[in-house]
Structure 1
Amino acid sequence: MSVLVWTYIIVGITFALYIGIAIWSRAGSTKEFYVAGGGVSPLANGMATAADWMSAASFISMAGLISFMGYDGAVYLMGWTGGYVLLALLLAPYLRKFGKFTVPDFIGDRYYSSTARTVAVFCALIVSFTYVAGQMRGVGVVFSRFLEVDINTGVIIGMIIVLFYAVLGGMKGITYTQVAQYCVLIFAFMVPAIFISIQMTGNPIPQLGMGSTMSDGSGMYLLDKLDGLNKDLGFSAYTNGSKDMIDVFAITCALMVGTAGLPHVIVRFFTVNKVKDARKSAGLALLFIAILYTTAPAVSVFARTNLIQTVSNKSYAGMPDWFKNWEKTGLIKFEDKNGDGLVNYVKDKELNELTIDNDIIVLANPEIANLPNWVIALVAAGGLAAALSTAAGLLLVISSSVSHDLIKKMINPNITEKGELWAARISAAVAVVIAGYFGINPPGFVAAVVALAFGLAAASFFPAIILGIFYKRMNKEGAVAGMVVGISLMIYYMAKYKLGWIGGDTLPDKSEWWFGISPEGFGTVAMFVNFIVALTVSAFTPAPPQSVQDIVENIRIPSGAGEATGH
């Protein structure tokens, strides 16, 4: 059967599964809509958290980034993995004990202020919309190739699917859908990786295959081979970094602390019964995430090696079917500048004739390696599972921010539960439309857009949450001032150095970056500014009420500690 037929079959089965789960587990109350009734098992919550966490950026775009950036791409691996550890150890148990299931709810109550809540809602919406734009773009990339439609149509199809099960099922439907999506995406990521590892090195474990010798009898190590191929084309050696150390640190830090401020991941720790279950599900999620994250560098190496050997200096007329198929989507472009009919793929922009979108690497990898059609279709289903699972989680954050934190807590406290549920569903529907627009008009490829969302979360939420838990003296004036200054600074830097909206039609050169830090890493600078502003303002304004300080003291004491010490 053809790739298209296999895609319809596998994607159709997985979509039917997701929609069936959404109907079976539809939410009947606001508690079920927001936190799945609080009765999810740690194992299921761990899988759902992993699926929520591993978005289109992890599945589709991260390996593509590493593939083209080489050693420099490691910042995404370190940042996202380290960030999850930070979240699981430093924040999740305390937020769970505090008992508020949205970040604006925590900030509003901890800082005893409707202004703080409003600022937090604004920040949550900015972060979530930036993040969900990347997911919708990922959905469009998958559909454009495998259903042979254009990217915009692909985004619209994804909008309809995610709207159905997010609006109907809420967190309850999303949780169990995400369990299924985790199983699909991890199977889809590992199967081709294992196939290609055996094909290229004879080793069935991709993580080990990446560092093994080639199976062609040359005795050459795969990474040495790739270094040589890169150098021949004028690129730097794959295993050498070219980024400034300050930028590597800034991006890694922004991704780490941005993780700890992501509203759609934090809310997952409220879907279990006890604080102990929150810790367990955090540990299980880290294990599930590590399976993909330790495999991604291997996939990058396999894909880059195969890609160069397949296309570089080869006849365009003799290009394989996968090349022509991806060319139709516009994500690969060939321009025969010298008219020799050969694909000249080199670093020199004047001589280079091939443009490749980073986001196609994982999806095209099985085709480049001539794997069976069912494996190619399976990867398409995995990419969709990754993008849709995170998009659904983000839409829930958007809808709960509007219906619970804005309408229920501030505009109309007397709204009925049914009214609040309808408000949540309507705001989710509106959010899907806005997210779809940004998916059709994204400010970059998937991982870059998502990295900016992490920077926004780092600049706004992280200091307010961490100080709210560990510093009793932190007051509302300091928190509000820090969040406003932090996110404003980050938005300005993004607008000027990433989107080109400020100071002319062209993007400023890298030499103009502040401290040599890229927009993806600037969240670290904005976060430090947030901390300084928050602590300074807090020092010159009144301390929080004693009741608030007592709450902060209480959430840091483990449950059952009083019985153990006899107090």
Structure 2
Amino acid sequence: MTVLQWTATLVGLSFALYIGIAIWSRARSTSEFYVAGKGVHPLANGMATAADWMSAASFISMAGIISFLGYDGSVYLMGWTGGYVLLALLLAPYLRKFGAFTVPDFVGERYYSQTARVVAVICAIFVSFTYVAGQMRGVGIVFSRFLEIDIALGVVIGMGIVFFYAVLGGMKGITYTQVAQYCVLIFAYTVPAIFLSMLITGIPIPQIGLGAAEQETGTFLLDRLNGLHEELGFAAYTDGTKSMLDVLAITAALMVGTAGLPHVIIRFYTVPRVRDARISVGWALVFIALLYTAAPAVAVFARTNLLNTVTDAPYAEMPDWFTKWEATGLISFEDHNGDGLIQYVGADAVDGTGQPVRNELTIDRDIMVLANPEIARLPNWVVGLVAAGGLAAALSTAAGLLLVLSAAISHDLLKRNWRPDISEKGELIAARVSAGVAVIVAGYLGINPPGFVAEVVAFAFGLAAASFFPVIILGIFSKRLNREGAIAGMLSGITLTAAYIVYFKFVNPAANVAENWWFGISPEGIGALGMTVNFAVAGIVSRFTPVPAGKEGRDPAEVRELVERIRVPRGSGEAHEVSG
């Protein structure tokens, strides 16, 4: 079978599985739609959480960005992994103890303010749409190459699949679909990694193969890659070019962004007890580690294979995979010197006389994982499997994000603000309509994305870090923080972060260089500064405004008691339920 036939078969079977699960587990109540009836087993929830979190950025883009940036790309690996540890220690059990449906629900109840709830809803919508843009772009990339269709049409197909199982099944359907998607994506990621490790180093474990020697040359793989890089005018693969402050800022933004992402936090509302939330996080870390420990190895294998394949190769003799990716626009070749050979070089490349050499090959880093099996000439079924895995990763996270958007509109705005007397059936209809509208907007963003997948997702994490993390962590551990402080903190944090990103990425992209950044912090890391501003503003405003008093939603005395109950989870008892 050809690559196209294998891809169509494996993708078709996986989509049929997802739709079948959605029909079997469709939601029949708002509780099932929002939080799967709070009856998901911790093991299943851990697997679903891993799939929800390991998005297209993890599957498609993370190894790609590491393969291009080398050491500098490790910030994504450290930040996203460390964020889950932070989530396990500081947030998951306490939020499950609270027992609400959504993050804006927590903010509104904890800060006894409908205004705070609305601000949280706006932040959730902003963060989620930024994040979902990266997922839909990933869907389009996979479809455009492996099913040989236009990227826009690929996004539309992905929209249709997500719409079906997200709108029909809600969180209940999404949870069990994500369990299946995790199985697909982890199998699709590790199988080619094992193949590549065997081919290059003779060792079947990629994590060990990364530090081993090449079979052909006997040279350690990283040493050889460093040599290739320097010969071609690139920086040494294992050397970093970012400032230490920027590395710390990006890592911090990704870490606290992980702990503040609403589609991840909501997963811990789906288990029966507080203890189950902790167990879920533990399982999620195990499942995530299977992919994240393999990612650096996949990045190195991909980079090595690419350099060996394209360096000084005749363009006319490039294999079929090159032509197919070229048709998508994600690889382009321009023969500057007219010799017909591909010169893939870095900015510092020079010829034998010391004259600069122009690069002739442009490669979108998002294709590295997807193209890797073809570059290494692995069996066609492996190529099709990777395509199915990439779609599973993108669609699983997209579904979780769409549910956050749906819940924010139908539950937090409609039920909690505009129509408190709405029936459960009416709220469920509103939730499904909201999800449908969100799918359409997400599709548009996937067709017109603001950057490559990992970059877009990094922006979403930065926005989450600057908006949600401070008010959630202070809401759990500080009785003094009041509604004025929470609102001012969220608005200041997300405004600063969003304005910085928009200016450097859209208003004046020519100025997006280290010399113009504040304190040398890139747009990918500005969320750390936004978070710091959020903490500072929230604390200062709370100190200069009255101690919580009066009523708006909840009596502040009751809020202080609520904080005490959340902060000290007693054993594995049932979660406290907020009043509706």
TM-score range normalised by the length of the shorter chain: over 0.9
SS of match in other structure, 1:355? strand
Residue 476 of structure 1 and its aligned partner are, at CA, apart by 0.3
Question: Where does residue 7 of structure 1 map in the other structure?
Answer: 7
Question: Where does residue 358 of structure 2 map in the other structure?
Answer: 351
Question: Where does residue 545 of structure 2 map in the other structure?
Answer: 541
SS of match in other structure, 1:184? helix
Asked whether 1:509 is paired with 2:508, we answer no
- 2:273/2:572 contact within 8 Å kept: no
List aligned pairs for 1:299-338, cutoff 5 A: 299-338=298-337
Asked whether 1:524 is paired with 2:528, we answer yes
Determine which of 460, 469, 480 is the counterpart of 2:467: 460
- Deviation by residue 1:366-388 (Cα, 9 ceiling, x = unmatched): 00000000000000000000000
**What amino acid maps onto 1:103 in structure 2?**
V
Question: 2:16, 2:23 → 1: CA distance?
Answer: 11
- Deviation by residue 1:70-125 (Cα, 9 ceiling, x = unmatched): 00111000000000110111001000001112110000000000000000000000
Q: Structure 1 residues 94-103 or 185-194, which shifts more? A: 94-103
Question: Where does residue 354 of structure 2 map in the other structure?
Answer: none
- Deviation by residue 1:274-296 (Cα, 9 ceiling, x = unmatched): 01111101100000000000000
Question: 2:72, 2:572 → 1: CA distance?
Answer: 45
- Deviation by residue 1:118-174 (Cα, 9 ceiling, x = unmatched): 000000000000000000000000000001011111111111111111000000000
List aligned pairs for 1:76-475, cutoff 5 A: 76-216=76-216, 218-348=217-347, 351-475=358-482
Residue 560 of structure 1 and its aligned partner are, at CA, apart by 3.8
- 2:489/2:533 contact within 8 Å kept: yes
Residue 507 of structure 1 and its aligned partner are, at CA, apart by 4.3
Question: Where does residue 494 of structure 1 map in the other structure?
Answer: 501
Distance 1:358 1:561, change over 3 A: closer
Question: 1:66, 1:420 → 2: CA distance?
Answer: 44
- Deviation by residue 1:343-370 (Cα, 9 ceiling, x = unmatched): 0001129700000001000000000000
Residue 215 of structure 1 and its aligned partner are, at CA, apart by 1.0
SS of match in other structure, 2:315? coil
**What amino acid maps onto 1:550 in structure 2?**
E
SS of match in other structure, 1:439? helix
Asked whether 1:21 is paired with 2:25, we answer no
Question: 1:440, 1:219 → 2: CA distance?
Answer: 45
Residue 546 of structure 1 and its aligned partner are, at CA, apart by 2.0
What's the % identity of the aligned pairs?
72
Question: 2:373, 2:433 → 1: CA distance?
Answer: 40
**What amino acid maps onto 1:291 in structure 2?**
L
**What amino acid maps onto 2:82 in structure 1?**
G
Question: Where does residue 30 of structure 1 map in the other structure?
Answer: 30
- Deviation by residue 1:430-476 (Cα, 9 ceiling, x = unmatched): 10111111111111100000000000000100100000000110100
Question: 1:144, 1:279 → 2: CA distance?
Answer: 40
SS of match in other structure, 1:541? coil
With normalisation by structure 2, the TM-score equals 0.95
Question: 1:371, 1:150 → 2: CA distance?
Answer: 25
SS of match in other structure, 2:45? helix
**What amino acid maps onto 1:494 in structure 2?**
I
Question: Where does residue 565 of structure 1 map in the other structure?
Answer: none
Question: 1:283, 1:505 → 2: CA distance?
Answer: 41
Question: Where does residue 553 of structure 2 map in the other structure?
Answer: none
- The aligned length equals 558
Distance 1:61 1:508, change over 3 A: closer
**What amino acid maps onto 2:520 in structure 1?**
G
Residue 509 of structure 1 and its aligned partner are, at CA, apart by 3.4
With normalisation by structure 1, the TM-score equals 0.97
Question: 1:460, 1:433 → 2: CA distance?
Answer: 25
Question: 1:246, 1:395 → 2: CA distance?
Answer: 34
Residue 554 of structure 1 and its aligned partner are, at CA, apart by 1.2
SS of match in other structure, 1:317? helix
Question: Where does residue 553 of structure 1 map in the other structure?
Answer: 564
Residue 508 of structure 1 and its aligned partner are, at CA, apart by 4.1
**What amino acid maps onto 2:28 in structure 1?**
G
- 2:458/2:524 contact within 8 Å kept: yes
**What amino acid maps onto 1:148 in structure 2?**
E
SS of match in other structure, 2:219? coil
Question: 1:561, 1:336 → 2: CA distance?
Answer: 66
**What amino acid maps onto 1:85 in structure 2?**
V
List alignment gaps of at least 5 residues for structure 1: 563-567
Question: 1:297, 1:481 → 2: CA distance?
Answer: 40
Question: 2:287, 2:571 → 1: CA distance?
Answer: 29
- Deviation by residue 1:484-530 (Cα, 9 ceiling, x = unmatched): 1111101110110122x2xx574443311111000000000011011
Question: Where does residue 51 of structure 1 map in the other structure?
Answer: 51
Question: 1:168, 1:291 → 2: CA distance?
Answer: 31
Residue 558 of structure 1 and its aligned partner are, at CA, apart by 2.2
Question: Where does residue 351 of structure 2 map in the other structure?
Answer: none
